[in-house]
Chains A and B, each alone.
Chain A
Amino acid sequence: MKKIVLSLFFMAIAGIAMAQNAILPQNITIKALDGSSVQTSAIQNDGKPMIISFWATWCKPCNRELNTIKEIYADWQEETGVKLVAISIDDARSASRVKPHVDGNGWEYEVYIDQNQDFKRAMNVVNVPHTFVVNGKGEIIWQHTSFVEGGEEELYEVVKKALAETETAE
């Protein structure tokens, strides 16, 4: 038993060393704000980069991150066409607060609720906030956990880089 675990572990480490960029998981069911079920394959941005941000209504740093980006989101969209998709991991206790929270804060993001946390597990999110940048091909090219004021500038650098790569590839 121990040997299996160990060998598996080392195989995994070897795997990581060789890993290319993972792609965004498809066909995981999440909820739209109107309560309908949506597959994660619907998360798209016409070949432009996307920011996928896992957050929760009760998470202060998450709210600081999304509120900070809110101020500059229109500029980001105009300059790069980037789209921010906010995935709430609120569970049954607070999931019903997500829609009023999003509207109350005046967020213009595409928001989904991952109540069963299937998407969270598939993306290996441990703590929130956890933010990913996905390039035009749907590959995850960057991720970061935690948010501190100023972190949005680093995030935007990555988005611009992702856009430049996509454009060169074309």
Chain B
Amino acid sequence: MYLSMKINLKPLSLLTLFVVAAMGAYAQGIMGGHVTGNIQLDGQVSRQDSVIGAADVPEKILMNARADILYTNGNFSAGLRFEAYQNPMLGFNAKYKGQGIANYFAAYNGDKLSVTMGNFYEQFGSGMILRAYEDRYLGVDNSLLGLNVALRPYEGVTIKALAGKQRYYWEYGDGIVRGIDGEVSLNSIIKPWAEGKLRATLGAGFVSKYEPDQTITSTTNPAYRLNLPLNVGAGAVRADLNYGNWSLQAEYAHKGQDPSIMNNYIYREGEALMINATYSQKGFSANLQAKRVDNMSFKSVRSESGEMLYINYIPAITKQHTYAFLSMYPYATQTTGEMGLQGDVMYKIKKETLLGGKYGTDIHLNGSIITGIDTTRIGGDGTLGYTSEWFKTGDLYYADASIEVAKKLSSALKLTCTYGYQIFNPIVEGHEGALHHNHILVGDLTWKVNRKNVLRFEAEWMGSDSKYDPNVDDKRCGDWIMGLVEYNFTSKWFVSVSDQYAYRDGVGNYYNVSVGYNHGATRLQLGYGKQREGLLCIGGVCRQVPASNGLTFSFTTSF
């Protein structure tokens, strides 16, 4: 099913040899150039805890490690990435188990031409038809192995072309992805517009995937075998317009018939539209986003249902919250169909005013509402699936509203208070159930005691109408309180202690102690306790962490 890694060994060995030779030459000072890189090691000594969902781990220690080595010499660069999952940490797919060279490339980046051979990441527009990307903390790596070329024949004109296969854990998917994209900045090519107030960039792209035929029989009529398209195309057009304080971005994407496990093998074409309008000036901004997505899951292997092999990326437009309870119910885009609106306002009340006080006050409002699309069923697999009325909404999936007020109280104290309200439909995570309605309050106080000592206090509360049900086993249900104290000694050392406790209708008590050390671009962190998966911002950095119970350690360095 999947191309074996071994096939790539030969070019890999050659490349390795080349990089080693280049580095040897460098060390002798013949070629010049620079070697840079980064190393990351995460591990956990895990104990089973069914209450928080930490699994029983027979090997006791789980570890993810990676190292990127990058050689750069003028316009030339080459890189290798070593990854090891012995065994993969909780939250990472078991298929990552193993170690080896996961990524290698050689690239030339000139003024008018860029060429990358090997593994590369690329994005057309906002990524609605193509986005090869990685998120190391989420265990997602859709890098393409192949050839990527970008031409810049004139200033303001970029043409990209690429072809390759997508990474699938330690292998590559069978599907071949090919794409071309063009982008023009009108201010560069239309001379009278060069200094114009209107800034306009237009773009268009096309992506095609090829996948060999396979036998898939209709579930409604097993006597029929589906006539699968071997080539599936998707195209998109986009515009980015700016005029003074105003800006508007719009992108529309359309995809041909693409029956897959993601859409239950229906033959309906897909489309997506995203519009973003902004007004901003110093100290005030307002932003409104709208999107509609219909049957836009686009993968290079039609039978793959997991998190890998996505060719495109349809972003969630809901705000990415950083506080623990506000981000406890993250909204995941429904690529099969959704409609959404999001609004965001930031306002700075000036200094020396009644509400602004001595230092001014920052106010941030945000709200979003996401629903399904309207569908009228035609049939099951092998048919067009459904029809949809464009402006009619389906079920409510998610809604939230929040207000954040940040105020510097004195030269040493800064307070941020947030109130948020959320409605969450568990259907977006694949199971039916009642809507969850959550109220959340957050207080965050930073106290710079003196030049070297900084304390931070965080208190959070969440009141929810949801109750923990062992049959559904959603551990986020119920009412929660949380406290966090963080002490930083210069920007080098930190200690943080926190606890999240379900005091009513829920289960779980997530206590955690963390100690960390930063020096330059090196960071070492040790933690003990129970960790909920999600975005964690302590000790001066933010990162996604997996669920864990026990001891965790993390080391990162860049050089």
Interface residues in chain A, defined as those with a beta carbon under 8 Å from any beta carbon in chain B: 1, 4-5, 7-9, 11-12, 14-16, 18-20, 22-23, 25-29, 33-37, 39, 56-62, 64, 91-97, 99-106, 115-118, 121-130, 142-151, 153-154
Smallest CB gap from A64: residue in B: B446
A44 CB, nearest partner CB in chain B, Å: 15
Question: In the bound complex, do residue A22 and residue B287 qualify as a contact, i.e. CB atoms below 8 Å apart?
Answer: no
Interface presence of B62 (CB below 8 A) = no
Q: From B23, B35, B70, B315, give the contact of A122 (CB < 8 A).
A: B70
Bound form: Cα–Cα A93–B313 in Å: 9
Smallest CB gap from A129: residue in B: B541
Please name all residues of chain A whose beta carbon is closer than 8 Å to the beta carbon of B208 when the two chains form the complex.
none
A125 CB, nearest partner CB in chain B, Å: 7
Interface residues in chain B, defined as those with a beta carbon under 8 Å from any beta carbon in chain A: 9, 13, 16, 19-20, 23-24, 26-27, 34-38, 40, 67-70, 72, 75, 77, 80, 82, 100-101, 109-111, 114, 121-123, 126-127, 131, 133, 150, 156, 158, 183, 185, 187-188, 199, 201, 240-242, 247, 249, 276, 278, 280-287, 289, 313, 315-317, 320-322, 344, 346-348, 362, 364, 446, 448, 451-452, 454, 488, 490-491, 494, 518, 520-523, 535, 537, 539-543, 556, 558-559
Most chain B beta-carbon neighbours within 10 Å: one of A4, A104, A118, A127: A104
Question: In the bound complex, do residue A126 and residue B558 qualify as a contact, i.e. CB atoms below 8 Å apart?
Answer: yes
Bound form: Cα–Cα A142–B522 in Å: 12
Question: In the bound complex, do residue A150 and residue B82 qualify as a contact, i.e. CB atoms below 8 Å apart?
Answer: no
Q: From A5, A19, A95, A125, give the contact of B35 (CB < 8 A).
A: A19
Question: In the bound complex, do residue B23 and residue A11 qualify as a contact, i.e. CB atoms below 8 Å apart?
Answer: yes
Smallest CB gap from B488: residue in A: A148
| A36-B201, A39-B111 given; 15 more Cβ-contact pairs under 8 Å | A5-B101, A11-B20, A19-B34, A23-B34, A27-B75, A27-B109, A34-B199, A37-B201, A95-B126, A96-B249, A100-B285, A100-B346, A124-B68, A145-B523, A148-B491
Please name all residues of chain A whose beta carbon is closer than 8 Å to the beta carbon of B518 when the two chains form the complex.
144-146
Question: In the bound complex, do residue A26 and residue B348 qualify as a contact, i.e. CB atoms below 8 Å apart?
Answer: no
Question: In the bound complex, do residue B541 and residue A15 qualify as a contact, i.e. CB atoms below 8 Å apart?
Answer: no
Bound form: Cα–Cα A92–B346 in Å: 20
Please name all residues of chain B whose beta carbon is closer than 8 Å to the beta carbon of A127 when the two chains form the complex.
523, 541-543, 556
Question: In the bound complex, do residue B9 and residue A1 qualify as a contact, i.e. CB atoms below 8 Å apart?
Answer: yes
Please name all residues of chain B whose beta carbon is closer than 8 Å to the beta carbon of A96 when the two chains form the complex.
249, 276, 278, 287, 289
Question: In the bound complex, do residue B123 and residue A61 qualify as a contact, i.e. CB atoms below 8 Å apart?
Answer: no
B392 CB, nearest partner CB in chain A, Å: 26
Question: In the bound complex, do residue A61 and residue B541 qualify as a contact, i.e. CB atoms below 8 Å apart?
Answer: yes
Bound form: Cα–Cα A146–B131 in Å: 28
Bound form: Cα–Cα A37–B19 in Å: 30
Please name all residues of chain B whose beta carbon is closer than 8 Å to the beta carbon of A130 when the two chains form the complex.
521, 558
13 contacts between A and B (CB under 8 A): A5-B100, A8-B80, A11-B23, A23-B34, A37-B158, A58-B321, A58-B542, A92-B131, A99-B247, A100-B278, A100-B344, A143-B558, A151-B540
Question: In the bound complex, do residue A8 and residue B123 qualify as a contact, i.e. CB atoms below 8 Å apart?
Answer: no
Bound form: Cα–Cα A103–B199 in Å: 17
Question: In the bound complex, do residue A147 and residue B491 qualify as a contact, i.e. CB atoms below 8 Å apart?
Answer: yes
Please name all residues of chain A whose beta carbon is closer than 8 Å to the beta carbon of B344 when the two chains form the complex.
97, 100
Question: In the bound complex, do residue A60 and residue B542 qualify as a contact, i.e. CB atoms below 8 Å apart?
Answer: yes
Please name all residues of chain B whose beta carbon is closer than 8 Å to the beta carbon of A118 when the two chains form the complex.
121
Given A99-B247, A129-B540, A144-B520, A91:B133 Cβ within 8 A: yes
Q: From A15, A37, A91, give the contact of B26 (CB < 8 A).
A: A15
Q: From A18, A60, A101, A148, give the contact of B285 (CB < 8 A).
A: A101
Question: In the bound complex, do residue A29 and residue B72 qualify as a contact, i.e. CB atoms below 8 Å apart?
Answer: no
Smallest CB gap from A28: residue in B: B109
Smallest CB gap from A39: residue in B: B111
Given A1-B9, A154-B491, A16:B537 Cβ within 8 A: no
B454 CB, nearest partner CB in chain A, Å: 5
Please name all residues of chain B whose beta carbon is closer than 8 Å to the beta carbon of A36 when the two chains form the complex.
156, 185, 187-188, 199, 201
Question: In the bound complex, do residue A91 and residue B282 qualify as a contact, i.e. CB atoms below 8 Å apart?
Answer: no
Bound form: Cα–Cα A154–B451 in Å: 10
Bound form: Cα–Cα A145–B282 in Å: 28
Question: In the bound complex, do residue B284 and residue A104 qualify as a contact, i.e. CB atoms below 8 Å apart?
Answer: yes
Most chain A beta-carbon neighbours within 10 Å: one of B37, B199, B316, B558: B558
A4 CB, nearest partner CB in chain B, Å: 5
Please name all residues of chain A whose beta carbon is closer than 8 Å to the beta carbon of B111 when the two chains form the complex.
27, 39
A114 CB, nearest partner CB in chain B, Å: 11
Given A4-B13, A29-B158, A93-B316, A115:B276 Cβ within 8 A: no
Question: In the bound complex, do residue A35 and residue B201 qualify as a contact, i.e. CB atoms below 8 Å apart?
Answer: yes
Bound form: Cα–Cα A18–B30 in Å: 13
B342 CB, nearest partner CB in chain A, Å: 9
Smallest CB gap from A61: residue in B: B540
Question: In the bound complex, do residue B446 and residue A117 qualify as a contact, i.e. CB atoms below 8 Å apart?
Answer: no
Question: In the bound complex, do residue A150 and residue B38 qualify as a contact, i.e. CB atoms below 8 Å apart?
Answer: no
